[in-house]
Chain A
Amino acid sequence: EVKLVQSGAEVKKPGESLKISCKGSGQEFPNYWIGWVRQMPGKGLEWMGIIYPGDSDTTYNPSFQGQVTISADKSIGTSYLQWSSLEASDTALYYCVTFYRAGQSVPGAFDVWGQGTVVTVSS
């Protein structure tokens, strides 16, 4: 089972850029779909998007399309979530997850979660 380790907490100012990371252990990382989930303070979970590191195939939640960029470097087993211009409303806890399903027609779920990265955007 892959383990996900995320980069540390960040404090940024509005308008700044940011790239946070999620490193997967194990040689199977390129074969796992990696997703990103946002949790705003005191709120629920929101799926942002998902990437297949093997070929960088990416699907975004339309609510986040254009607001963030999800990428991956399969050679180092790492996925990234980046912003070009942060806003105060980006203040949240961000989780990376693996999406696993046993087969094409088998329901999948987020079976492994990173520890989360807190992003604080404040002037």
Chain B
Amino acid sequence: DIQMTQSPSSVSASVGDRVTITCRANEDIGRWLAWYQQKPGKAPKLLIWGASNLQGGVPSKFSGSGSGTQFTLTISSLQPDDFASYYCQQTDNFPWTFGQGTKVELK
């Protein structure tokens, strides 16, 4: 199985901060990577697909980059609605796997 490792596991940030989350795969997955946001008690929501493509309706303050084994999700100018957990996922090879998640908390 492809292992996806996110860092950090949690981050404390303030409104207006820029936050970057890293996701590493233990083998090359090309650009077959997606990012999801999950708020407490809610289903996850797709933010980014294909490593850097913004899903329709997702604000442009979210951006993704990377390819191969290292990827990043950046949230520019954090707003109260952005405090949530974020997960990366590879869909390059079965079984598809998720990172363990990164919780973005209010400082």
**Which A residues contact B (CB, under 8 angstroms)?**
44-47, 59, 61-63, 95, 99, 106-111, 113-116
Kindly report which residue of chain B lies nearest to residue A110, judged by CB atoms: B46
A116–B40 Cα gap in the complex (Å)? Answer: 13
Q: Are A45 and B43 in contact (CB under 8 A)?
A: no
Within 8 A of A (CB), among B71-107: 87, 89, 91-92, 94-101
Contacts of A46 in B (CB 8 A): 98
CB nearest neighbor in A for B100: A44
Are B46 and A107 in contact (CB-based, < 8 A)?
A: no
A95 to B92: give the CA distance in the assembly, Å. Answer: 21
Size of interface on B: residues with Cβ below 8 Å to A: 28
B101 in contact with A107 (CB, 8 Å) = no
Contact assessment for B89 and A109 in the assembled complex, using a CB-CB cutoff below 8 Å: yes
Candidate in B43, B46, B55, B99 with the most chain A CB atoms within 10 angstroms: B43
Q: Is the CB of B91 within 8 A of A108?
A: yes
B45 to chain A: closest residue by CB: A113
> Contact between A109 and B45 (Cβ–Cβ < 8 Å)?
no
Chain B residues with CB under 8 Å of A95's CB are 43-44
| Also in contact, A45 and B95, with CB within 8 A (given A107-B32, A110-B34) | no
What is the chain B residue whose CB lies nearest that of A4?
B43
A113 to B46, CA, bound (A): 9
Do the beta carbons of A44 and B89 come within 8 Å of each other?
no
**Bound CA span A47–B100, Å:** 12
* Minimum C-beta distance from B27 to chain A (A): 16
Whether A44 contacts B101 in the complex (CB less than 8 A), given A59-B94, A109-B91, A113-B45, comes out as yes
**A-B pairs with beta carbons under 8 Å apart, 17 shown:** A45-B44, A45-B87, A45-B89, A45-B101, A47-B89, A61-B94, A61-B96, A106-B50, A107-B49, A107-B51, A107-B92, A108-B32, A110-B36, A110-B46, A110-B89, A111-B46, A114-B43
Q: Which residues of A contact B43 (CB under 8 A)?
A: 95, 113-116
Give complex CA distance A113, B95 in Å: 19
Chain B residues in 8 Å Cβ range of A107: 30-34, 49-51, 53, 91-92
- Check A47 against B34 for contact (C-beta < 8 Å): no
